[in-house]
Chains A and B, each alone.
Chain A
Amino acid sequence: MTEMWVNMGPQHPMTHGLWSLRVKINGEIITDAEPMIGYLHRGWEKMMENRDYHQIVPLADRLCYASSLSWSHLYCKTVEDLLELEVPERAQWIRTLTLEIQRIASHLMWLAAIGTDLGSYTMFLLPMREREMFLDLMTDLSGSRMTTNYPRIGGVRNDLPPNWERDTLRVLNLFEKRLREFEALFDECSAFLMRTKGVGKLSGPEAINLGMTGPFMRGCNVDFDLRRDDPYEKYSEVDFRVCTHPDCDSYARYRVRIDEMYESCNIIRQCFQKMKQGPVRVKSPKAVPAGRAFAHVEDPRGEGLMYLISDGSDKPYRLKVRSPIFVIVSGMPAALIGEKVADIPAIMGMADMCLGETDR
């Protein structure tokens, strides 16, 4: 049989968002792959050059609908770096724990997506149901479900609402039980193991070479996590494990994310134990001094980075975003070539695509 190009996307059930993957197949074997993005381009970076620093915070939420808080946090952190602003301690604790809540919510969305990718609709609906609990927590905190708009330059918008700590701990207790259910649904399902084990192999050095970060890289058995290796906020004061898995395949990436959710619960509990009363926000000036700053954080998907150049006015001269998925997707052909067409969802799903931050 001759080889042919098949388009997976942009209107294809496999794509989570607007992007396309062209694969060249020989029978069922993939011989070439070419990810194509650009269907969702909004000119986000250019747009930011016409807004003042405080107006950018809500727009930073829009970078990724699945983990909006971590992107607005990253933006605030970049500006704070330039301002050399000291964030109050309580605000740092709150940021740490809300980031972890956001991480769980984002990972649950990935779990739901991988469920539909692999044909298990149960696995789509159940994590979406649990995700709603965390979105409810975010709603209590900030007033909106998805684009939370909670961090501010110099702190966070408001202190924790009354009873929020109690609610969160209840949610965590329930969630850990449910997470074990999900593990039972997937880890004890031999069909799932058949689909993911030994699929999409990518060794650690290869992943590093391609610039991949985040759970995908840790699923390639690279022990690297910005939360531990370049700690920000209060991550240096909490105990947690960086989850890796030696298998370097799709199953390893699944395992890493599930373990990370357990670890996130752990971190949130520690934050509640260690945080103290105090102010949550300091005043920040409207214009920032001329100069350059960059900050990088461990987004649920990998290393998110923002590079800010300021000319001393109240608007950024340039704001560059480095999104983790852009790099991971660019490197995906290495994992795809040689696998079968039916494995594309199992491999691409593990990248946890979010096109908002990729295309910007």
Chain B
Amino acid sequence: MVETTLFSLLHGLALWIGEVAQWLIKVTGIKEIQFIGDWAVTGGPVNFLTILLVCAIFMVAALLVGITCIWQERKVLGRIMDRRGTQVGMLGLFQNFADAIKTLLKELIIPRDADKKLFMWSVTGLIGSSVLLLGLVPWSTRFFVANPELTLLIGLAVFSLAPFFIMIGGWASNNKYSMIGAMRGAAQLIAYEIPILMVVLSIIIMTGSLNFNVIVAFQQTHMWLMFPLFIGFITFFVCGIAESERVPFDLPEAEAELVEGWQTEYGSIQWGLIMMADYLRAYVVSALITVLFLGGWDGPTFLWPEVWYLIKVFFVFFIMIWVRSATVRIRTDQLLKIGWKRLLPLSVVNLGIAVVMKAMGWF
């Protein structure tokens, strides 16, 4: 039996929409446009419509998960700090929407001496690249947008666009804090991408593929990669926290010394989008850890695989919140020192372990 994917499910709907269009055109009785109706039920338009529907559903689902991450962070932090996180609506679930409306209603201020076009476009680029990431990580073998062979590579390539936009945004603000924050941010993101790539390389060696489905299938037949590649798992987790700019690595927005770092001049919806992008990236990091190390949607069959996936993602995110609540922000030079002198060697060791295990034929 061919498994029902989101695509094949929606393909029928798209075909039905095409047929409705064909019928509507037929009842007009105009001979000259009949060919449009016939064209609407052919493969091309139906596939296109299906992909659009898949994207829409997946995006809404992923964004809702992103919002849930924010809610989860506020709730868990509230519990740890002995206060209420959110209170609006049932379990405070509507707080984020209230905050979003408040953010939207604020005036959009662009500094007089800023480079206006770059100032606006850097936010667009940042949120664009972050949202693009959402579509790349599948939730299960049936709930995904695209499934190219090199998904992991594309994902990391898109992920590493951020320093570019941060640098542009910080420079265009024409503000000393922004500039220093942007340089710090770029240095941090570039430094921590290399260990991430090394760890991913070890996963590629173990599983022999860059495709998330194959990676998860490998873990289902063998074991979760967290156990053989434990060093890599820890390295990836630490780098992931740094890449999503969270405490203790939230240096680009260190408010105590640099006001808000590179985002000092951004307000209103631009700030909202930047914050949303931050959380989306944190979600993507959690999702990557889940898929690469925790067996993705692997789990007992009494729950849907998507549910297992979400449980694991939220668990990883919970650990990130825990770390955030327990530590303080570290300094730039210390951060780079950790990145280059600790995490990079660890990732190389991890790579060596993966190579040895593969060469000995244990996997």
B-binding residues in A (CB < 8 A): 4, 6, 8, 12-14, 28, 115-123, 125-126, 129, 185-186, 189, 191-192, 194-195, 340-345
Q: Does B329 contact A (CB under 8 A)?
A: yes
Contacts of A194 in B (CB 8 A): 330-331, 334
Q: Is the CB of A119 within 8 A of B256?
A: yes
What are 14 A-B contacts with C-beta separation under 8 Å? A6-B177, A13-B259, A119-B248, A120-B325, A120-B326, A120-B329, A121-B77, A122-B77, A122-B80, A126-B81, A191-B330, A341-B180, A342-B257, A342-B331
| Distance A16 CA – B292 CA, assembled complex (angstroms) | 45
Contacts of B254 in A (CB 8 A): 119, 342
Q: Is the CB of A118 within 8 A of B83?
A: no
Q: Does B265 contact A (CB under 8 A)?
A: no
Nearest-neighbour CB distance to chain B for A161, whole angstroms, equals 28
Q: Is the CB of A118 within 8 A of B333?
A: no
Nearest-neighbour CB distance to chain A for B215, whole angstroms, equals 32
Contact of B81 among A125, A192, A344 (CB under 8 A): A125
Q: Is the CB of B325 within 8 A of A122?
A: yes
Q: Is the CB of B332 within 8 A of A340?
A: yes
Q: Is the CB of A8 within 8 A of B83?
A: no
Nearest-neighbour CB distance to chain A for B254, whole angstroms, equals 7
Contact of B256 among A4, A13, A28 (CB under 8 A): A13
Q: Is the CB of B257 within 8 A of A125?
A: no
Nearest-neighbour CB distance to chain A for B84, whole angstroms, equals 12
Residue in chain A with minimal CB distance to B80: A122
Q: Is the CB of A189 within 8 A of B326?
A: yes
Q: Is the CB of B257 within 8 A of A345?
A: yes
Interface of A: prevailing SS:
helix
| Distance A55 CA – B325 CA, assembled complex (angstroms) | 46
Contact of A195 among B77, B80, B330 (CB under 8 A): B330
| Distance A282 CA – B193 CA, assembled complex (angstroms) | 72
A-binding residues in B (CB < 8 A): 77, 80-83, 176-177, 180, 247-248, 250-251, 254-259, 325-334
Contacts of B80 in A (CB 8 A): 122
Contacts of A342 in B (CB 8 A): 251, 254, 257, 331-332
Q: Is the CB of B257 within 8 A of A341?
A: yes
| Distance A129 CA – B78 CA, assembled complex (angstroms) | 13
Query: Are A116 and B256 also in contact (CB < 8 A) when A122-B325, A125-B83 are?
Result: yes
Q: Is the CB of A13 within 8 A of B255?
A: yes
Q: Is the CB of A117 within 8 A of B81?
A: no
| Distance A4 CA – B254 CA, assembled complex (angstroms) | 19
**Known contacts A119-B250, A191-B329, A341-B257, then 17 further A-B pairs from the complex at CB < 8 Å, ordered by chain A residue:** A6-B176, A6-B180, A119-B247, A119-B255, A119-B256, A119-B328, A120-B325, A121-B81, A125-B83, A129-B82, A191-B328, A192-B327, A194-B334, A195-B328, A340-B331, A342-B251, A342-B254
Contacts of B326 in A (CB 8 A): 120, 122, 185, 189
Contacts of A14 in B (CB 8 A): 256-257
| Distance A117 CA – B257 CA, assembled complex (angstroms) | 8
Query: Are A191 and B256 also in contact (CB < 8 A) when A6-B177, A28-B332 are?
Result: no
Contacts of A118 in B (CB 8 A): 256, 328-329
| Distance A109 CA – B95 CA, assembled complex (angstroms) | 29
